[in-house]
Structure 1
């Protein structure tokens, strides 16, 4: 089955099951179901950030900005059935890796078809991060007193500049899954920034329901994608993305 036939199947599975999937996860944040289609059999551990992105380094970590604690990419997983994980999303990633290796973005651009697939991939990361934050408790905030009651709440309830209400968190989750069932990403193209990079290391940061930056040193490519913001031109998106990246890494040797 071709990649595009698999993606048709993926979108259909999501459309048919998304209400049940989200309702189940809302009732039980740790429900052992496929987070995409709701399957309960043949479950696998889907890495939120694919292992090939960070060269399978088990020591690589990211910081949860909400509580300042580090977590390894290698252990950051969510449940997904074998079909959604290995067959469909695995095929998408293999296709994109081939394109990343084939195209030198310093000299040429990706095709429209590939750009839409990149957006789909980045949107899948956003959905997985939202699931992850719902499944993880806040626990202890770094360098702060532990409050047992707050420690039992999901990290997702503390995203953003102010605490996020459960209703908003669940609404964002429904939206994040719904967009994975949308075939055309043409209207989102200006919100995707494709950048050439000479950095030797993998870099990543993410703001829930806002944006993601991911730098693939192996391919000399970096992506910055605004999940919600629309831009009149790609140039204006790139300008804003560059400001955010500079602010994120200000004073860092990156």
Structure 2
């Protein structure tokens, strides 16, 4: 896995400028968001199908426009090599490790991989918001001049295109690094007996994903770093109480 993981990170690093320039110029560009290729483009699921058991009934709702999207249809473009070969190998090994090990058994390399994976999901969610149009806030009246604005432009009250693109650039650049030591205390992993898949996130702040088939849940603070792991756990619990099943 490590060799293919290294190849993937190198592809991301070498294509940073090309991919970001194209995405900024054409938000819905049909190119691999990992390496920039336009050959054999496939659909890469934002939440991996194995995580939600490819259940077509499962969906997420955007907090920005209250519009639902099924996980099975929430995808971004990636070439066959990056998606099936490189990412496929990484996620197969990641899943095996998560099944076989308990959280207290994770070593630093395991944590590096988990953090990278959650950062990658965060980047994909940001990209989805850039590619999707606001349309209307479900349940409210249709406002024509808002309908074609990317959802990403509503991340904050005064969000500007420049801020959106800086966040995207930084999130993608994070995928080029292997070692995540500065983020170890920002990751909280715990066992769960819940039988249902759960997920929530806030752009550039945190992500929570609960996967019943491996009986584990993950919470990562994207931007915040902690010297005290117990403090991270305390804040994680507060976020779960606030956002779980909202």
TM-score normalised by the chain length of structure 2: 0.97
CA distance in 2: counterparts of 1:96 and 1:11, whole angstroms = 16
Query: Per-residue deviation at 1:10?
Result: 1.3
Q: How many residue pairs were aligned?
A: 246
- Unaligned 5+ residue runs, structure 1? none
In the alignment, is the contact (CA less than 8 A) between 2:9 and 2:176 conserved in 1? Answer: yes
Query: Per-residue deviation at 1:109?
Result: 2.8
In the alignment, is the contact (CA less than 8 A) between 2:12 and 2:35 conserved in 1? Answer: yes
Q: How does 1:96-111 map to 2 (within 5 A)?
A: 96-105=94-103, 108-111=104-107
Query: Per-residue deviation at 1:70?
Result: 1.2
**2:209 aligned with 1:209, yes or no?**
no
Residue in 1 aligned with 2:89?
91
**2:175 aligned with 1:180, yes or no?**
yes
**2:213 aligned with 1:237, yes or no?**
no
CA distance in 1: counterparts of 2:228 and 2:39, whole angstroms = 44
CA distance in 1: counterparts of 2:13 and 2:94, whole angstroms = 24
Residue in 2 aligned with 1:228?
223
**2:147 aligned with 1:151, yes or no?**
yes
Aligned with 1:54: secondary structure?
Answer: coil
Query: Per-residue deviation at 1:104?
Result: 3.0
Query: Per-residue deviation at 1:69?
Result: 1.5
Q: How does 1:23-62 map to 2 (within 5 A)?
A: 23-62=21-60
In the alignment, is the contact (CA less than 8 A) between 2:65 and 2:137 conserved in 1? Answer: yes
CA distance in 2: counterparts of 1:187 and 1:228, whole angstroms = 11
Query: Per-residue deviation at 1:91?
Result: 1.1
In the alignment, is the contact (CA less than 8 A) between 2:198 and 2:209 conserved in 1? Answer: yes
1:133-186 CA-partner distances (Å, limit 9, x unpaired): 1000001101211111111100000013x1411000000110011000012111
CA distance in 2: counterparts of 1:24 and 1:202, whole angstroms = 34
Q: After the TM superposition, list the runs of 4 or more consecutive aligned residues in structure 1 that deviate by more than 6 angstroms.
A: none
In the alignment, is the contact (CA less than 8 A) between 2:41 and 2:78 conserved in 1? Answer: yes
Q: How does 1:131-170 map to 2 (within 5 A)?
A: 131-160=127-156, 162-170=157-165
Aligned with 2:78: secondary structure?
Answer: strand
Residue in 2 aligned with 1:67?
65
TM-score normalised by the chain length of structure 1: 0.94
CA distance in 1: counterparts of 2:179 and 2:107, whole angstroms = 14
CA distance in 2: counterparts of 1:26 and 1:157, whole angstroms = 13
